[in-house]
Structures are given as C-alpha cells and as structure tokens.
C-alpha cells in the first residue's frame, strides 16, 4: 500500500508547468518539467510547450516567434525540462 501511495504522489507532482507568464510588454515565458524516465531529450514536453504558445498567440490572431529556447535532458536524478521565451507577432 505504501508503494502505491508513493507512486500516486510522484505521478501527481512529477509533471509541472508554469503556463504562459508575461516577462515584459511583448514577451512571454513557458517552462515545463517532465517525469521522463531514463536518459534523453525532452521531445514530448517540447511539443507541449510550443502547442501552448501557439494556442496563446492564436487567440490574438498572431504567430509565435521564438526568442530563446533551452532544454535539459533527463538523467540520473534529474528530470527533463524546457523553457521557451517567445513573443506573438503578426502572421
């Protein structure tokens, strides 16, 4: 039973996202961590972050322009993570 509790707690807290955060008047940040098992790049959450950014800009009829993108590969005792700084520009 204890193992089930630990697994449930890990599952609920393992994946976290900041959502879209305004940085200044025309740029935004989205950061996300994943509980990716094993070593490798965070391909799945990269797609999720860009989808969220595109949805955000589409509400204004605009497109995403990437200002800065950083990713951390998962490894021993380290979860995969991405950070995207972007702005919305006219199509």
Residues 10-27, mean pLDDT to the nearest whole number: 76
Outline where DSSP puts E strands in the chain: 16-17, 21-22, 28-34, 62-72, 80-90
- Contact yes or no for 27/89 (Cβ under 8 A): no
Q: Contact at 8 Å (CB) between 65 and 74?
A: no
Q: Over the stretch 49-78, which tens digit does the pLDDT of each residue have?
A: 999 999 999 999 999 999 999 998 887 777
Of 84, 86, 75, nearest to 31 (Cα)? 84
pTM over 0.85: no
Tokens coding 1: 């039973």
Out of 15-24, 41-50, 57-66, give the one with best mean pLDDT.
57-66
């Amino acid at each position: 039973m204890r193992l089930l509790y630990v697994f449930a707690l890990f599952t609920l807290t393992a994946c976290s996202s900041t959502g879209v955060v305004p940085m200044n008047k025309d740029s935004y940040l989205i950061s996300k961590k994943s509980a990716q098992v094993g070593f490798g790049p965070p391909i799945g959450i990269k797609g999720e972050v860009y989808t969220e950014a595109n949805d955000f800009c589409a509400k204004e009829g605009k497109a995403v322009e990437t200002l800065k993108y950083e990713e951390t590969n998962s490894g021993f005792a380290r979860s995969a993570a991405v950070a995207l700084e972007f702005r919305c520009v006219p199509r």
